[in-house]
């Protein structure tokens, strides 16, 4: 039954990780996959066998960044270029701000309910894996969940 959500449940986070993991398998890349709640706190994490250790914190920080700034990390990357309005943003929040693609806020009914962060492949691959996670929530709740393209 569809519901209006204001926060992600662990069950929803696991469903999102499962969809992201399936997408990563099709890419043939071992991924680190993170889901955070609306406050940017880790809700669920999955590290596929062989995923780069250095990508663990990147995945988590991409999710946090997308959630706390209400924008995809790909969009933040554009806004953080020299001469742009958010130049230098990656130096804030104790250096935990990651501004390359793979982090997407989860927005339901106009509200941030969490975010996802994926790390291991190219920026385009990370975005595709993150979008797979978002689509899993969209499909379950029969609601339109914002994706990176809509932000």
Give the pLDDT confidence of 103-143 residue by residue, as tens digits: 999 998 889 999 999 999 999 999 999 999 999 987 655 44
What distance in Å separates the CA atoms of residue 53 and residue 43, rounded to the nearest whole number? 19
Could you write out the three-class secondary structure of the chain? Answer: CCCCCCCCCHHHHHHHHHHHHHHHHHHCCCCEEEEEECCCCEEEEEECCCCCCCHHHHHHHHHHHHHHHCCCHHHHHHHCCCCCCCCCHHHCHHHCCCCCCCEEEEEECCEEEEEEEEECCCHHHHHHHHHHHHHHHHHHHCCCECCHHHC
For residue range 69-105, what is the model confidence (pLDDT) as tens digits?
999 999 999 988 899 888 888 888 877 889 899 999 9
Q: How do residues 9-62 score in pLDDT, each as one tens digit?
A: 999 999 999 999 999 999 999 999 999 999 999 999 999 999 999 999 999 999
| Dist CA 97 CA 76 (whole Å) | 10
Question: pTM here?
Answer: 0.86
Single out the residue of 39, 55, 53, 37 nearest to residue 129, CA to CA: 55
d(CA 8, CA 123): 25
Please give the class, per CATH, of domain 10-150. Answer: alpha beta
């Amino acid at each position: 039954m569809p519901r209006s959500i204001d926060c992600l449940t662990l069950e929803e986070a696991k469903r999102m990780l499962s969809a992201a993991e399936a997408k990563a398998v099709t890419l043939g890349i071992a991924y680190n996959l993170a889901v955070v709640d609306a406050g940017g706190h880790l809700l669920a994490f999955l590290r596929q066998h062989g995923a780069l250790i250095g990508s663990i914190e990147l995945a988590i920080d991409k999710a946090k960044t997308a959630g706390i700034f209400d924008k995809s990390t790909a969009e933040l990357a554009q806004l953080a270029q020299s001469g742009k309005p958010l130049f230098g943003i990656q130096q804030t929040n104790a250096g935990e701000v990651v501004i390359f693609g793979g982090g997407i806020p989860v927005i339901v009914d106009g509200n941030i309910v969490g975010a996802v962060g994926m790390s291991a492949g190219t920026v385009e691959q990370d975005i595709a894996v993150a979008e797979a996670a978002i689509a899993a929530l969209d499909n379950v709740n029969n609601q339109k969940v914002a994706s990176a393209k809509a932000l």
